[in-house]
A and B are shown apart, each in its own frame.
Chain A
Amino acid sequence: MPTAFQRIYTKVEEITKATCTVHATDVGYEELATVNGQLAQVVKIMGEKVTLQVFAGTQGVPTDAEVVFLGKAPSLKVGDALAGRFFNAYGLPIDGGPEVEGREQEIGGPSVNPVRRKQPSELITTGIAGIDLNNTLVTGQKIPFFADPDQPFNQVIATVALRTAADRIVLGGIGLTNDDYLYFKSVFENAGALHRIVSFVNTTEDPTVERLLVPEMALTAAEYFAVEKKEKVLVLLTDMTLYADALSIVSNRMDQIPSKDSMPGSLYSDLAKLYEKAVQFEEGGSITIVAVTTLSGGDITHAIPDNTGYITEGQLFLRRDTDIGKVIVDPFRSLSRLKQLVIGKKTREDHPQVMNAAVRLYADAANAKTKLENGFELTDYDKRTLDFARGYSEKLLAIDVNIDTDKMLDTAWELFASHFSKAEVGIKQSLTDQYWPGQ
């Protein structure tokens, strides 16, 4: 980066809703600038015509606006002093505290060389059986909750965050409502966990395009703690759908041809660049990302959840179980791709088979339920699966259950034994011999 002597231009040639164009020389791509004091970034250079994306929008920008190039890409001052603080999308404090002193780190930095990654192998427990038993999480994993806007996803990820044994939690709030922002703040404060937490928040009151900076700010802070402090960092990003919406606004303003669902053709790469920051380093530090992608009407074929699903290592669905009237993590549609690395290895040997058997029997119950709804007679087996399903929901899947993994497995065996024969459960004999209750 050359020394930043300030170059000031005052002739703005074009202004659109999100961008303005000036004649300028010796400008670097992705360099920051201010336009009448508002932060902006270089997004296109054509000869001497430089197009700037103004984060806060271009309302009120005149053609004689003062454009100052700052000679650097967007950056965050990183240091231990980040802990316990709340920042905006530019990394400036919003909690009334002083500015953080530290090393200036460009956001959106380079990717980890894949051969320098370590295979994730450390279990993350949450006490939620829908996660720990059926969809076990591992450090270095990236996984979103696919949730409808009316589901309590922010409460759930706050619970996940506080129950896990992460050294550091980084919250990236993207278009949070002010109420949710205050909710996170009070939950973290009440849990006495504030010192472990760094938050970057863009609320619905802030300009939309600013949101694009939030995940990268959060991940830059996470990289500092994971690489330099070798900490286990958990990053929460909510709501990534609003991030993608902001991308589509910018690409639209840049006259790019939209692809599926009006999203930019680069959506996959744009999302992957963020999610792939999840990593297990050889030296012990790790970044785990738990995100939220809100759906519209449960449609996962929409470009945002669809591209997300191809990038992340699984996805978690919330569902209200009408039998027990509680929210559960849906055992059918949820998936943790990295669970194979730990279940039965870091957890008890019977974990994989118990998990599969329970889900299969739960599926049989779902079929029985369909039969019942269609007015068909139920067999004895059908009735037993329904009884099993209710117990499974109540004692294991409900999100308010908080037990350790061994207890979950024991509970599952008890449910098996009270409703089924060994052959119906169909677990490998050596395991049944050992764990079947009351023999």
Chain B
Amino acid sequence: MTATQQHTTGRVSGIISNLVLVQVDGPVGQNEIGFIQMGDTPLMAEVIKVMGDKAYIQVFESTRGLRPGMEVRFEGHMLEATFGPGILSRNYDGLMHDLNTMSGIFLQKGDYTSALDLDKAWAFEPLAKAGDEVAAGHWLGQVDENGIPHKIMVPFKLKGRYTVDSIVEKGDYKVQDTIAVLKDERGTEHKVSMLQKFPVKQAIKAYREKPRPYQLLETGVRTIDTLTPMVEGGTGFIPGPFGSGKTVLQQAISKQAEADIVIVAACGERANEVVDLFVEFPELEDPWTGRKLMERTTIIANTSNMPVAAREASVYTAMSIAEYYRAMGLKVLLLADSTSRWAQALREMSNRMEELPGPDAFPMDLPAIISNFYARAGIVHLNNGETGSITFIGTVSPAGGNLKEPVTESTKKVARCFYALSQSRADSKRYPAIDPIESYSKYLEYPELQRTLNEQIEERWTDKVNELRNILLRGKEAAEQINILGDDGVSIDTHLTFWRSEIVDEIILQQNAFDEVDARTPLDRQQYMVNKVLEVVDRPLSFDRYEEINPYFKRVINAMKQMNYSAFDSEDFKQNMQELEETLAEREVEEG
């Protein structure tokens, strides 16, 4: 799309729900943005199909009251995100309008607020100087945004190489003030401010290379960090039927993960869950910096009752913002809950356009759309040698809890971590309900990650992780045997195998997200507990009758659980530890 002086206009000629047909008088581009003038209210819309002089547009609003003949004005550009300091701690709708500055209790059509505070002055500090050779993404200067050095960059839209002609002195500037003038190779001047825009559906590629991820991203969730680790710049997804704890798990990750920036896309989910974030994040502390969580967070809310067409936009907007902060050399964590709602929004439109449907009536290109989206995450080496990353975790809400549906299957092909939430674990309140056998982290197979883990945590750590996995597998087999043959039909050893896996399950896997202490387990404490669990599991114990095993292990588990609930190394912790040791001693096999 070339920026034309003359805007193309058109008139509404057909309406089916939020799909509107427009008779246009000039050129229009696919995905171009247009506004329908409904009385005094402009309704934002996006071109999704063109047939001759008819454009099909999806309207990001309710179309009630819309009439044929109403005027449409096309903007000459695609849906864009607005970048600049002041994005953090804001709450946006799917199109990046600030929800807090909208008027009234109810969302009004056409209330399009600015993404940034245009009047606020920021203390700008130049990093580049006149004469520097620069290109898109080059750091020109920085401002302090909630304690994070927010880099002001050469706009991503600028192609080719430029020379800094002038740059302003250190001082206070508003986002629209010119802070630098760049000259291109032909000597044309380009004024640059702290505000820039970029199409959300295009990836920002102002980096040198994208290596394989090699570093752990700590989440404080034991079953993830220990058994199925997420990495900086990695991708993962959490499928699970409703009630299996997807949202609680994702919220725990968003609160605790070791990230500079957290972007949450609440995509077609419950409004009250977003309200939880609005209420809690300004209060809760970021465990890594001690600042308030909200200061590092941006929330994109397109709840399930907000316009469907904006739902697709919301995940792209979120990804675009993540890419912007990654280009500053920051660690960004992006969470989308739920990507299924986004796929459903695509299905609704595809259906209205009467396209031939793919499986379950989803559009044929769904797998491609999902895979392109996940591919935008990753760790990158920037042109200046710094490193930035986007770690992306999406939830999937499989219809009927069936993992063989198109969204889950398409996602499974691209996401490298799979956190399967199991209904039976959720039913027996074993939270987080991540199934330890079904779930995997492909990253654990990366030699570069194994190396960092064994250096960072302890030698042979990955072997210990495998050992935990084996204990769980053997325990599962033992449980099946006991179920089939009955308690008295199997050997004492089978009972012991089962109960040993129960220790791993109860102490490492299960974690109470609502308990102040248990909610987040730092890596050193995870290491300690893993070693403790392995030590307990390795102890030879002697029992004469199987009936003695259940009550005995319940006591062991109870003592260890109390350890999880007490502050690390506190008096309570030590006391529970002693109780554990005493219990263990009762059944110790005499050596010799």
**Nearest residue, chain B, Cβ from A308:** B242
A111-B305 in contact (CB<8A): yes
Q: Identify the stretch in B187-195, B323-331, B386-394, B399-407 within 8 Å (CB) of chain A at 4 or more residues.
A: B399-407
Q: A381-B550, A429-B562 are in contact. Are A29 and B351 (CB under 8 A)?
A: no
Q: How many residues of B contact A (CB 8 A)?
A: 77
A116–B101 Cα gap in the complex (Å)?
A: 11
- Name the A residues within 8 Å of B241 (CB-CB): 309
| B26 close to chain A: CB less than 8 A | no
Binary contact readout B160-202 vs A (1 if CB under 8 angstroms, 0 otherwise): 0000000000000000000000000000000000000000000
Would you give the shortest CB distance from A288 to chain B, in whole angstroms?
11
| B301 close to chain A: CB less than 8 A | yes
B270-A302 in contact (CB<8A): no
A356–B510 Cα gap in the complex (Å)?
A: 14
A360-B429 in contact (CB<8A): yes
**Nearest residue, chain B, Cβ from A24:** B68
A-B contact count (CB 8 A): 203
Would you give the shortest CB distance from A329 to chain B, in whole angstroms?
15
| A259 close to chain B: CB less than 8 A | yes
B105-A281 in contact (CB<8A): yes
A259-B268 in contact (CB<8A): no
**Nearest residue, chain B, Cβ from A332:** B427
B104-A113 in contact (CB<8A): yes
| B279 close to chain A: CB less than 8 A | yes
Would you give the shortest CB distance from B190 to chain A, in whole angstroms?
37
Would you give the shortest CB distance from B356 to chain A, in whole angstroms?
9
A96–B65 Cα gap in the complex (Å)?
A: 33
| B555 close to chain A: CB less than 8 A | yes
- Name the A residues within 8 Å of B400 (CB-CB): 260, 300-303, 306
B428's partner among A25, A106, A363, A429 (CB-CB below 8 A) is A363
Q: How many residues of A contact B (CB 8 A)?
A: 82
B242-A310 in contact (CB<8A): yes
Would you give the shortest CB distance from B415 to chain A, in whole angstroms?
20
Would you give the shortest CB distance from B310 to chain A, in whole angstroms?
12
A301–B108 Cα gap in the complex (Å)?
A: 36
CB contact list, A116-140 vs B, under 8 A: 116-120, 140
| A346 close to chain B: CB less than 8 A | no
**Nearest residue, chain A, Cβ from B426:** A335
Binary contact readout B70-113 vs A (1 if CB under 8 angstroms, 0 otherwise): 00000000000000000000010000000110101111110000
Q: A115-B99, A115-B100, A426-B561 are in contact. Are A29 and B106 (CB under 8 A)?
A: no
Would you give the shortest CB distance from A380 to chain B, in whole angstroms?
7
A377-B487 in contact (CB<8A): yes
| A3 close to chain B: CB less than 8 A | no
Q: Identify the stretch in A56-64, A147-155, A267-275, A395-403 within 8 Å (CB) of chain B at 4 or more residues.
A: A267-275
Binary contact readout B337-380 vs A (1 if CB under 8 angstroms, 0 otherwise): 01001001101100110100100110000000000000000000
Q: A115-B91, A119-B275, A423-B555 are in contact. Are A29 and B108 (CB under 8 A)?
A: no
Binary contact readout A43-56 vs B (1 if CB under 8 angstroms, 0 otherwise): 11111100000000
Q: A29-B66, A340-B514 are in contact. Are A117 and B272 (CB under 8 A)?
A: yes
| A192 close to chain B: CB less than 8 A | no
**Nearest residue, chain B, Cβ from A301:** B400
| B62 close to chain A: CB less than 8 A | yes
**Nearest residue, chain A, Cβ from B311:** A269
Q: A115-B100, A376-B487 are in contact. Are A266 and B429 (CB under 8 A)?
A: no
- Name the B residues within 8 Å of A310 (CB-CB): 242, 338, 397
Can you give 27 A-B contacts (C-beta < 8 A)? Answer: A1-B65, A26-B67, A29-B67, A44-B16, A45-B14, A45-B15, A47-B14, A111-B106, A113-B99, A113-B107, A114-B278, A114-B303, A117-B271, A117-B275, A119-B275, A265-B347, A268-B304, A276-B304, A277-B305, A300-B400, A303-B399, A307-B399, A309-B241, A313-B272, A340-B514, A381-B551, A428-B565
Name the 5 nearest CB pairs between A and B, nearest first.
A301-B400, A272-B304, A276-B305, A309-B242, A376-B486
